[in-house]
Structure 1
Amino acid sequence: MRHKKEVAQRSNTQRVQSLTNQAVIADKCYVAERFFDRLRGLIGTTAFASGEGMLFPRCNDIHMWFMSISIDVVFIRRERTAEGRTNWKVSSVHAGVRPWRFLPLRDSRATETLELPVGTIGRCAIRAGDELCIS
């Protein structure tokens, strides 16, 4: 991921894996927790390498204004079990979302948004209903 300042310096990273088919979706997923990281997102990014991703907690919509690259978008729903365990389920997927998309992309059932390099959804066979491990 290429920014003027590396996102990794400002954000913690997580690994995202499908528990449905064991595919590693992103082994370097930046978590946008802070306001500026969330505001900037991937704006200004000119390269997004395979294995990278950006997770937006408490986010169920995105826009593509000022973006220079297409991305894959996975909306995730966080669920708590009776035992207190957290489950991460894919709510919806959107492959190849193009830059400068006028209308926001939204999933009202989602609690998190995962942005990935184009082709990741197909390569990892991500589908709505898949369970994920974020660690």
Structure 2
Amino acid sequence: MILVNKSTGSVIADQVEVAESFARRLRGLMGRGSFPEGSALVLEPCRQVHTFFMRFPIDVIFVNGRGAVLHVMTDVPPRRISPYVRGAQKVVELPAGTLIATDLGKDHILQLIEREG
């Protein structure tokens, strides 16, 4: 899947994993050695995340059911807990620096697109 910012037309990530089961959301990025540029992990449903047992900082986007960005967090280090974001349906975790590099912000609209082929 590909994650696109519909507000700007830019591709945010071209290697997107979606975690919809409880076990997959719970595991998330814990224990991974790296999180390559262009990657994203979408947690659904989700309103709050933590970075315990992670080895690298991440950027975090909280999104409502329409894909509108409600809250963003940049460069969240390991061993932190995010706020509970009311109205969020999904959380997108990205490599640290992605939000600044793509100029993504609150009220932008995100869309997941299936890869062709």
Q: What TM-score do you get using the length of structure 1 for normalisation?
A: 0.79
CA contact (8 A) 1:63 1:105 kept: no
Report deviation, 1:68.
1.1
Report deviation, 1:23.
1.3
CA contact (8 A) 1:77 1:91 kept: yes
Question: Which has the greater radius of gyration?
Answer: 1
- The Cα offsets for residues 38-79 of structure 1, whole Å up to 9 and x where unpaired, read as 11000011111111000001101001111111000000011x
Secondary structure in 1 aligned to 2:68? strand
- Which amino acid counterpart does residue 79 of structure 2 have in structure 1? W
1:33-44 matches, cutoff 5 A: 33-44=20-31
- The Cα offsets for residues 18-50 of structure 1, whole Å up to 9 and x where unpaired, read as 011111111111000122211100001111111
Secondary structure in 2 aligned to 1:47? coil
| Structure 1 residues 90 and 38: CA distance shift in structure 2, 3 A | same
Give ranges in structure 2 of 5+ residues lacking alignment.
none
RMSD: 1.1
1:1-135 matches, cutoff 5 A: 14-78=1-65, 87-101=66-80, 103-135=81-113
User: Which one has a larger percent strand, Structure 1 or Structure 2?
Assistant: 1
- Displaced runs of 4+ in structure 1, greater than 2 A? 103-106
Secondary structure in 1 aligned to 2:56? coil
| Structure 1 residues 94 and 104: CA distance shift in structure 2, 3 A | closer
- Cα distance in 2 for partners of 1:105, 1:63 equals 9
Secondary structure in 2 aligned to 1:105? coil
- Cα distance in 2 for partners of 1:34, 1:109 equals 20
Number of equivalent positions: 113
